[in-house]
Amino acid sequence: MINGLNIGIILFLIGLYGIITNKNLIKIVMSISILGNGAVLFFISLGYVKDNIAPIINPGVENVVDPTPQALMLTMIVINLCVTALALTIIVWLHKEYGTFDLGEMK
């Protein structure tokens, strides 16, 4: 069955595979981003409850979705963006120093 939980796990595993197998620094950063997006999708899907509504305070509303996973994942999205920006900055510095993106050639 295709749902957010399964797609999140698949994205996480694709990102992990990319980190382990690639030697190109740009591809490793892309894999880290895919891994992070998979984790975000997984945790947001955990917080989803079918047939419930947004947690807006109205009289008579009983079935609401817990907003905590969504708030935490917004924070994680910002952290993923900062990690990606920092990693790309370091990669630019390494490229100026060594002239390549390949980890094997940076010795």
pLDDT digits (tens, 9 = 90+) for 65-89: 778 888 899 999 999 999 999 999 9
Task: Give the pLDDT score at 33.
Answer: 96
pLDDT tens readout for residues 34-55: 999 999 999 998 887 777 777 7
Instruction: Write the CB contacts of 29 (distance below 8 Å, at least 6 apart in sequence).
Output: 84, 87, 88, 91
CA–CA gap between residue 2 and residue 18 (Å, rounded): 22
CATH of 4-105, one of 1.25.40.420, 1.10.287.3510, 3.40.1360.10, 3.90.180.10: 1.10.287.3510
Instruction: Sketch the domain layout of the chain as residue ranges.
Output: 4-105
What's the pTM value of the predicted model, to 2 decimals? 0.84
Instruction: Write the CB contacts of 97 (distance below 8 Å, at least 6 apart in sequence).
Output: none
